[in-house]
Every structure is written in structure tokens, then in C-alpha cells.
Structure 1
């Protein structure tokens, strides 16, 4: 099991969760943050600090955002387990699910 960052993070990326993560498993994409499921230790430190309530334990992820679990798994299936977000740097692109979200106007 792992934590998942869902739709409310898209185009917000507050990053308060980055400071709380003790294992540096939260990676930054162009429009959203992603939790590496292989690096996450399920501590839950990220969840309460998210100002938009975008972080959910996998079993608590609302049905309408179920695709975000797939998105996070897919992203890291491609790039693997770099061993920490700060050393890896930002992701080059977002998962297509995130890319398909409307871009805010204004």
C-alpha cells in the first residue's frame, strides 16, 4: 500500500508535503506532484499538511480519482526508483491522465 496524490494537486503543487516526507519520495512533475510507491514508507506525514487535501492512502482514494493511482504507478514503472526526488530532479512530463486535465483559465 502507498499514498497517492490526486487531482486537487494538479496546477497547485503547494509542496508542503515535500518538507514533511522523511524518505524524499515525492517527485515534481510539470503540473502535479507524484509519490513513488516503491520509495514511500507509508508514514502518512505528507497527508495532513496538504492544503488542498490531495493526498490519500491508496485504500481511501475517492473513486473519481482512481486513475491517479494508476498514473503514479505508470510514471515510476517507466523511470524506476531513482532513490530520492531531490537527487533526481523534476520529471520531464506528466502522466497523460494529468495532461488531460483542463488548464485553469486566468
Structure 2
């Protein structure tokens, strides 16, 4: 009798400068690392993407958002099940939600822990 194949591990990516986010399979701490992380997963299905707006100092999530927008604009959006925006910055979080929703990404606002 053949054993059923194990379920594949979900890909859960996160970009956050402070939070641990223990469910994340990969974690980036800066926007630059976030862009690299997404580029490494281009063409793969990403189950969840967690985004924090403020990433310390002058850094923000906007370079990551721009990458996602440009991919969608060119007709090759990243394949993401759901994007969670969990920033403590309500205006920044709303900007991210509005921008990504415009490009048909499935986005939800989550409470920052």
C-alpha cells in the first residue's frame, strides 16, 4: 500500500523589522531584503505574504509594494493567496491595502502585535 504524499509546506513570507512572526517560513527585515525575498519566489505560489509598513529609520514597505504593482501592471502578478498588512501605522497600512487591492491582490488588514 502506498503512503499518501505529505502536504507541501505552505510558503509564508514576511517583511517586518521587529516582529518575530513565527508562522513565516522566511522573514526579511528591510525593504531591500523583502524585494530579494519576493524575487526568489517569483513564479511560485506564495500562500501568505505579511507586510509591515514602517521598517525602521527611513525604510518602508513601499519598494516591495512597487515590485508587486509593477509585476501586475506588466501582466505577471505574483501568485499570492493573501497579503496581510499588519502595520501599526494606520495611514501607511491603508495606502498598502489600497495600492495592492487596485492590482487585484487579495489583501486584508491585520492587527499589529
**TM-score w.r.t. length of structure 1:** 0.26
**TM-score w.r.t. length of structure 2:** 0.25
- Between Structure 1 and Structure 2, which shows a larger proportion of helix residues? 1
Higher relative contact order (CA 8 A, sep 6+): 1
